[in-house]
Structure 1
Amino acid sequence: MKEAEMLIETNQLILVRKQIRRKKIKSFFSTILQNRAATVGGAIILFYGLMTIFAPMIAPYDPYEINLQDKLQSPSMSHWMGTDDKGRDILSRILYGSRLSLGVGVSAVAFGAFFGIILGLISGYYGKWIDTIISRCLDVMLAFPGILLALAIISALGPSLINVTIAVGIFSIPLFARIVRGSTMEVKKLEYIDAIRTLGANDFIIIFRHIFPNILSPIIVQGSLRLATAILSAAGLSFLGLGAQPPSPEWGAMLSSGRDFIFSSPFIAIFPGLMISILVLGFNLFGDGLRDALDPRMKK
């Protein structure tokens, strides 16, 4: 009888948690729509997403086609953003480059979030010596500035866009892990978690079915803000020649090739730099809006 009563109470607690979660989701979308910064940021991200998807359809030229007769042309009706030192259309290269820049950013954050979430869940749930070992390893990673850690990793792996993704993803792991660890330690103390454990649920079910869905809010906020940092870091590494290699139309690499013509043909560097700045701004605005929507205490 006691087990039956406990099962009923546990199911009721789970239903209440689900209802609270649904209300939070409705409140989240309404708050996002009311937040001007988040709306602007979301519109920018949507614009870049559409640009990435439809790049082959809207690009007026082949981004890799060299035409030395048209090199260093200023913006005009035939080339809206001008041409580079090899006569390639800058607009077409920027459109195709959005796939590389966004792809690297999303892949790096997904890589860091996956391993960070796993480590954070294990550390926060089990605690004791497991928590100590994982936390100390994360502290060592956090002791190095992110860009220096990425430089060290690329020095070992070699310059390429894939290695940049791995490097940026690795220095994103500690940030996700610490957030997940703290949230897990709070949720595992709730009564319904104790009730589920008493009914015989194993650790895997408790962690991934009952704890993880309740700590998604800070993960989503951190992911959106981290995307801006990842894109900027990847562009910076490509600018230094450690990421995308010529003739790749990655924005950081385009910015690097345009610096030699900054005085004679500044548009070669201006447009890729502007695209990076606007995208990073969009993710930052949207991330701030998410933070306000998911955590009312952070509202200004």
Structure 2
Amino acid sequence: MSQEVNNPSTSNPPSINPRIESWKIFYKKLRKNRAAMFGGILVLLFIIVAIIGPYFTPYDPGQTNYQVKLAPPSADHWFGTDHHGRDIFSRIIHGMGITLMIGFASVFASAIIGTTIGIVSGYYGGRLDNFIMRIMDVLLAFPGILLALAIVSVLGPSIENVIIAVAIFSVPVFARIARGSTLSVRKLEYIDAVKALGASDSRIIFKHILPNVTSPLIVQTTLSIATAILSASGLSFIGLGAQPPSPEWGAMLSDGRAYLYQAGHVAFFPGMMIVIVVLAFNIFGDGLRDALDPKMKA
């Protein structure tokens, strides 16, 4: 009489990692949003161009040639030349790295600081929460660009100071989002259970609260990068950001305003790139918000 042999690999189906499964659901939702996918592809393309593009530009971004100054777009100069005869296409490619660096650096700094402040404030509550939130309210009372303008005016015009200024006015937004999410998670029963088991505050914050508040913070990070790029370009436009001859887009746009009627392409192409990059981040951020929303069906 034959005896049936149980094979563990066939009798017990392999378990699926919940984190991998959640990422699959997230990607499925994101893929259905064509606008978000288009924005994400553009963002990825901009990052790649910012990294490798400067090695393949046809001209040096600082090379002047007054014989072809204010030349219109042509086969030799795809976006034309500026008032110093510099190739605008080459300057835009080189400036893409500067623009994205300002956006990413300022937002990541503000996200780290703001998230830390918000989680600590929401977790401990009490007087500490009131003190921190009142400071955030004071910062939020000023329009972001005006606060950045005041900070750069004190620190002096430079790219580094623009990053500091944009990071400071972005901190309250992340702090309030992190605090609100922390207050919701802190009330859950399993947090009380973990405390009863003797887990330390740092373990609870980093292992149980932080993973549950990352979704809105990721969305806000993407949207804040667009705001940071726009703010940095505005500061450079009025002379408080990147200084000549830096190929930063806001500074290029400022140079071109004197030639709007004589050679409109000098201002058009930098302005067009600012609009496209900001729009791409906003569209991608909206798609991330829908994909990370648990109420949205896959």
Offset of residue 214 of structure 1: 1.2
Query: 1:111 is matched with which residue?
Result: 109
**1:222 correspondence with 2:223:** no
Kindly provide the amino acid, as one letter, of the partner of residue 98 in structure 1: M
Offset of residue 297 of structure 1: 4.3
Offset of residue 20 of structure 1: 5.1
Offset of residue 293 of structure 1: 0.5
Distance in 1 between the 2:97 and 2:21 partners?
36
**1:293 correspondence with 2:291:** yes
Query: 1:5 is matched with which residue?
Result: none
Query: 2:181 is matched with which residue?
Result: 183
Which of 223, 242, 245 in structure 2 is aligned with 1:244?
A: 242
Once the two structures are superposed, residues 31-55 of structure 1 have per-residue CA deviations (whole angstroms, 9 ceiling, x without a partner) of 1111011011011111211110112
Query: 1:55 is matched with which residue?
Result: 53
Distance in 2 between the 1:167 and 1:281 partners?
22
TM-score normalized by the length of structure 1 = 0.91
Counterpart of 1:171 in 2: which secondary structure? helix
8 Å CA contact 1:291–1:298 kept in 2: the answer is no
Distance in 2 between the 1:74 and 1:136 partners?
53
Q: Give ranges in structure 1 of 5+ residues lacking alignment.
A: 1-17
Offset of residue 296 of structure 1: 4.8
Counterpart of 1:172 in 2: which secondary structure? helix
TM-score normalized by the length of structure 2 = 0.92
Query: 1:125 is matched with which residue?
Result: 123
Map 1:1-300 to 2 at 5 A.
Answer: 21-297=19-295
Between structures 1 and 2, the one with greater helix share: 1
Kindly provide the amino acid, as one letter, of the partner of residue 235 in structure 2: L
Offset of residue 188 of structure 1: 1.4
Kindly provide the amino acid, as one letter, of the partner of residue 295 in structure 1: D
Across the aligned residues of Structure 1 and Structure 2, the Cα RMSD in angstroms comes to 1.4
Counterpart of 2:223 in 1: which secondary structure? helix
Once the two structures are superposed, residues 165-200 of structure 1 have per-residue CA deviations (whole angstroms, 9 ceiling, x without a partner) of 110110000000000000011111222211211111
Offset of residue 23 of structure 1: 3.3
Offset of residue 138 of structure 1: 0.4
Distance in 2 between the 1:280 and 1:297 partners?
27
Counterpart of 1:231 in 2: which secondary structure? helix
Kindly provide the amino acid, as one letter, of the partner of residue 177 in structure 1: A
Q: Give ranges in structure 2 of 5+ residues lacking alignment.
A: 1-15
Distance in 1 between the 2:49 and 2:17 partners?
38
Distance in 1 between the 2:59 and 2:46 partners?
19
